[in-house]
Structure 1
Amino acid sequence: MSGRDHNTGTIVKWKWSLASGECAPCFSWPVVQLGVDDHGIWLGSRQGNPVLQPDGQVELQTHDGVWLIPPRQYWIAAFWFTPATDLTIDICVPPYQQSDTFAFIDLELDLYRNAQGEAGIVDQDEFAALSAAQLVPPHNLDAAVSTADRLLALVEQRVEPFGTAAKPRLQQLQ
Structure 2
Amino acid sequence: MARYDGLPEFVAARGQALLRSAYLLTGDGHLAEDLVQSTLVKVAPRWRRVAAVGNPEAYVRKMLYHEHISWWRRRGRRNELPSAAPPDGERHPDFADGALLSMVLQQALARLTAKQRAVIVLRFYEDRSEIETAELLGCSTGTVKSQTHRALARLRVLEPGLADLLTDAETPEVAR
Which is higher, the Rg of structure 1 or of structure 2?
2
Instruction: Tell me whether the two structures share a fold, i.e. TM-score over 0.5.
Output: no
- Using the size of structure 2 for normalisation, the TM-score is 0.29
- Using the size of structure 1 for normalisation, the TM-score is 0.29
Normalized per residue, the structure richer in helix is: 2
